[in-house]
Amino acid sequence: MLYIKTKLKDGRTVKSGIKENNTFARCSECGTEVPVQLGELFAAENADPLYTDIVCPECTKKRFAKQNITMEDMVLLATALCRLGFCRQLLSLYTDFGIEAIQELEPEEYRNFADALLCAVTEDGVI
């Protein structure tokens, strides 16, 4: 088991195991505490997983309230939600839309896909 070791001011050392359900990050936009799926975070293609900006589902949703969604936005959305542990919901939407990668989406499908994805994430009780 991996654990973190922190030295307190009084000289004592605290060890705490790193588990799937006890790792959190602050949303880089609103500061809300968000649970982090470490496995997903390290599996995603991040230059440095430990310094990745985590954005909460609510802030991700706000970003998508704007009108013109680009492929770049779609990739960012997919990556952000995957980091938060929603890869399963993303893959199930790929099936619904008949695609194997986000890049296969047609521009007119961006809005529907983003809404469906954010909805799936909301239904899981995260927001």
| Helix 71-83 with 110-123: angle, nearest 10 deg | 20
Cβ proximity to Zn ion: between 61 and 90 the closer is: 61
Tell me the chain's radius of gyration from C-alpha atoms: 17
Cβ proximity to Zn ion: between 32 and 79 the closer is: 32
Q: How far is the CB of 84 from Zn ion (least distance, A)?
A: 11
* Vertex 86 angle, CA 121 and 117, to 5°: 45
Residue 126 touches Zn ion, criterion: CB under 5 A: no
Q: Which of 4, 14, 18, 30 binds Zn ion (CB under 5 A)?
A: 30
Cβ proximity to Zn ion: between 53 and 96 the closer is: 53
Q: Token pair for residue 69?
A: 């969604």
Looking at residues 49 to 78 of the shown chain, list those that interact with Zn ion (rule: CB under 5 A). 56, 59
* Vertex 110 angle, CA 106 and 113, to 5°: 110
Considering Cα of 93, then 95, then 100, then 105, what sign does the dihedral take?
A: negative
Cβ proximity to Zn ion: between 28 and 103 the closer is: 28
**Chain contacts with Zn ion (rule: CB under 5 A):** 27, 29-30, 32, 56, 59
